[in-house]
Amino acid sequence: MDGKPNTPQDKWNYLAKNNTARVALKIILIVAVIWLLYHGISSLFNSSLRLILPNGHITAEVADTQKLRLSGLSGWDSLPDSEGMLFVFDSASTTNCFWMKDMKFAIDMVWLDADKHVVRQEPNVAPETYPSTFCPDSPAKYGLELGSGRAQDLKITPGAKLRW
**Residue of 91, 104, 106 lying closest to 136 (CA atoms):** 91
Q: Are 142 and 87 in contact (CB under 8 A)?
A: yes
At residue 9 the predicted structure's pLDDT band, cuts being 50, 70 and 90, is confident
Sequence spans of domains, the chain: 1-46, 48-153
- For the residues 89-97, what does the mean pLDDT come to? 98
pLDDT at residue 46, rounded to an integer:
56
DSSP letter (8 states) at residue 20: H
- For the residues 101-122, what does the mean pLDDT come to? 98
Average pLDDT for the chain: 89
DSSP letter (8 states) at residue 112: E
Give Cβ neighbours of residue 5 (< 8 Å, ≥ 6 apart). 11, 12, 13, 14
Q: Is 51 exposed, middle or buried (0-12, 13-18, 19+ CB in 10 A)?
A: buried
Residue 58 CB coordination number (10 Å):
25
In this predicted model, which residue has the larger pLDDT, 46 or 125?
125
Distance CA 2, CA 72 (A): 70
Q: Please give the CATH superfamily to which domain 48-153 belongs.
A: Protein of unknown function DUF192 (2.60.120.1140)
Q: Are 74 and 102 in contact (CB under 8 A)?
A: yes
pLDDT at residue 42, rounded to an integer:
47
- For the residues 47-70, what does the mean pLDDT come to? 95
Q: Are 147 and 118 in contact (CB under 8 A)?
A: no
- For the residues 125-152, what does the mean pLDDT come to? 98
pLDDT at residue 117, rounded to an integer:
98
